[in-house]
Amino acid sequence: MTASSGPRASIDQKYPKEILLPDGREVLIRPPGKADAEGLLGLFQRLPLIERWCFGENPCERGVVEGWIDRHLEGRTFGILALCEDEVVGFGTILRPGYGGRRHTSTLQLAVLPTFRKLGLCTWMTLDLIRRAMEFDIETLRADLVMGLENDVIEALGQCAFVERCVVEDGFRCPDGMCYVTVVMTRTLYPTWGDF
Amino acid sequence: MSRFPPQVTRLQTPRGPVDIQSFCPPEMIGPLDFDPSLKRYTAYKPLLSDKEALLAAASNEEQNVTLACTEAGGIVGVALLEYPSKEERWTRVGERIMMEVAVIEVGAAWRSAGIAREMLRALVDHPLKENRIFYMVGYSWTWDLEGTGLTAIRYREMLIGLFSAFGFRTFQTNEPNVLLRPENLFMARIGGQVPEAVQKRFKWVRFDMDRYMEDTGWKGA
């Protein structure tokens, strides 16, 4: 399946999406393409080191970012970029397990530049990823977040009806050895309305 | 009543011919009856199933009441294009700019025969379409999911497919009712003659920013 045919093409037709932030700035949301590696690297290079540490791979390595884009184009993940005046200011992704007992679930990850936080952008991106997850027949979205470091994302997910399922003491260790609590949040994606 | 002349198209369906008539005047609606499949029952509540509301809508100039009727005079489909009420945010875009596809509904027994598509075609084939912004809001709690057997997100996709064929696009908005559920939907078709300043205002209103822009005098990006 190429990026320009089949289900991926029908999803790509839904973009770009225009968001107006409360401070008047306009942001476009769209999926990434091969040419976006540089912009994505720029985003992560401007994130605080401690936030980059929240990712499982070093997002400042070109090969890592290119790998993420490839996985999106192959349909193993679904990603979106947030762009303001052609600059990548946010990135969000949901993983799509292709095999096994977790195929009905997906893990969500978000990164937004500090200067674009507290403006609802995380919420818009989350809402968009929720819609895509529903289209992929995902039943539960999950996010693993570090309390104290990813509070903006935790707040955004809470506004999008994610609930805290559990916390893991010392689930995250900083380069200096300091440990943080991680929180697992989930949202059930109901396919229809209940009878209540 | 509408100042535009009615248009009729005959559609052949597996259940017999259906006439799709746009700009129905009140005197034409009077003798018609709702088909039982468009009436309310436990798991399905049509948005518009009483003739009084139809007659009121048809009495408004420029609004378009489009009906799908059997030869026997039974209404099997209803569509309505109207101006939003004064308290709705969309009126802030400008005087008589926004028109809502407020209703498009086909009786359960008459679905999957292309009636909705033909009704929508007749509805938006409006003499003022290039000077107006037509919009629709899709609230999943009004969708007949049980009757169609679709999930909410598939129903949403079906609506997007239906409306996209007539130039509608999905737009983001922070309208609170739309945001209540992720599958809810806001789509609009911006007429080719709608001035750029009005389009910009439409964008501000979608995000409830028009008052902020006015207060600060900022022109936006």
pLDDT tens digits along B12-34 = 999 999 999 999 999 998 888 88
Query: Could you give the C-alpha distances from A123 to A110, B174, B219, in angstroms and in order?
Result: 10, 11, 25
Greater pLDDT, B100 or B46: B100
Mean pLDDT of the residues in chain B: 89
- Res B61: pLDDT: 81
Answer yes or no: are the C-beta atoms of B67 and B10 closer than 8 Å: no
Beta strands A87-95 and A77-84 are: antiparallel
pLDDT band for position B2 (cuts 50, 70, 90): low
Give the angle A97-A29-A124 at the CA atoms, nearest 5°: 80
pLDDT digits (tens, 9 = 90+) for B60-77: 888 999 999 999 989 999
Assigned domain for A72 exists: yes
Min Cα–Cα distance to chain A from B105, Å: 19
Assigned domain for A104 exists: yes
pLDDT band for position A170 (cuts 50, 70, 90): very high
Alpha-carbon dihedral A135, A140, A146, A148, rounded to 10 degrees: 90
Assigned domain for A132 exists: yes
- Res A36: pLDDT: 97
- Res B46: pLDDT: 56
- Res A116: pLDDT: 95
Q: Across the interface, which of A14, A20, A190 has its CB nearest the CB of B207?
A: A20
CB atoms A18 and B203 under 8 Å: yes
pLDDT band for position A126 (cuts 50, 70, 90): very high
pLDDT digits (tens, 9 = 90+) for B135-189: 999 999 888 888 888 999 999 999 999 999 999 999 999 999 999 999 999 999 9
Answer yes or no: are the C-beta atoms of B141 and B131 closer than 8 Å: no
CB atoms A24 and B141 under 8 Å: no
Q: Give me the residues of B, 157-176, that contact A with CB < 8 A.
A: 157, 160, 170-172, 174
pLDDT band for position A1 (cuts 50, 70, 90): very low
CB atoms A22 and B153 under 8 Å: no
User: Number of CB pairs < 8 Å for A and B?
Assistant: 56
3-class secondary structure per residue, chain B: CCCCCCEEEEEEECCEEEEEEECCCHHHHCCCEECHHHCCECCECCCCCCHHHHHHHHCCCCCEEEEEEECCCEEEEEEEEECCCCCCHHHHHCCCCEEEEEEEEECHHHCCCCHHHHHHHHHHCCCCHHHCEEEEEECHHHCCHHHHCCCHHHHHHHHHHHHHCCCCEECCCCCHHHHCCCCCEEEEEECCCCCHHHHHHHHHHHCCCHHHHHHHCCCCC
- Res B51: pLDDT: 79
pLDDT digits (tens, 9 = 90+) for A32-73: 999 999 999 999 999 999 889 988 899 999 999 999 999 999
- Side-chain-side CA neighbours of residue B180 (13 Å): 9
CB atoms A135 and B153 under 8 Å: yes
Percent of chain B residues topping a pLDDT of 90:
66
Assigned domain for A178 exists: no
Min Cα–Cα distance to chain B from A161, Å: 10
Answer yes or no: are the C-beta atoms of A15 and A31 closer than 8 Å: yes
CB contact, 8 Å: A18 with chain B? yes
List Cβ neighbours of B148 (8 Å cut-off, separation of 6 or more).
B111, B155, B158
- Residue B216: pLDDT above 80? no
CB contact, 8 Å: A99 with chain B? no
Give the architecture (CATH level 2) of B7-216: 3-Layer(aba) Sandwich (3.40)
Top residue of A13, A15, A17, A20 to mutate, by most chain B CBs within 10 Å, is A20
In whole angstroms, what is the distance from residue A180 CA to residue B124 CA? 57
Q: Structure tokens of A81?
A: 């970029």
**Which of A109-113, A151-155, B89-93, B125-129 has the lowest average pLDDT?**
A151-155
Assigned domain for A158 exists: no
Q: List CB contacts (< 8 A) between A191 and chain B.
A: 151-153
Q: What sign results for the dihedral spanned by CA atoms B148, B149, B152, B154? A: negative
In whole angstroms, what is the distance from residue B94 CA to residue B101 CA? 17
Answer yes or no: are the C-beta atoms of B200 and B207 closer than 8 Å: no
pLDDT band for position A8 (cuts 50, 70, 90): low
CATH code at position A56? 3.40.630.30
Report the SS3 class of residue A16.
coil
Range of the domain at A123: 6-139
In whole angstroms, what is the distance from residue A14 CA to residue A29 CA? 10
Mean pLDDT of the residues in chain A: 90
What pTM was computed for the model?
0.88
- Residue A4: pLDDT above 50? no
Greater pLDDT, B52 or B206: B206
Asked casually if ipTM beats, i.e. exceeds, 0.85, the reply is no
- Res B48: pLDDT: 62
Q: Structure tokens of A25?
A: 């700035």
CB atoms B221 and A19 under 8 Å: no
- Residue A3: pLDDT above 50? no
Q: Per-residue pLDDT averaged across B28-44, rounded?
A: 75
Strand arrangement, sheet containing A87-95:
A17-20, A26-30, A77-84, A87-95, A105-112, A140-146, A179-188, A163-173
Could you state, in order of their start, the residue ranges of all structural domains in chain B? 7-216
Q: Structure tokens of B123?
A: 């509805």
Q: List CB contacts (< 8 A) between B217 and chain A.
A: none
Put residue B8 in one of left, alpha, beta given phi > 0 → left and psi -120 to 50 → alpha.
beta
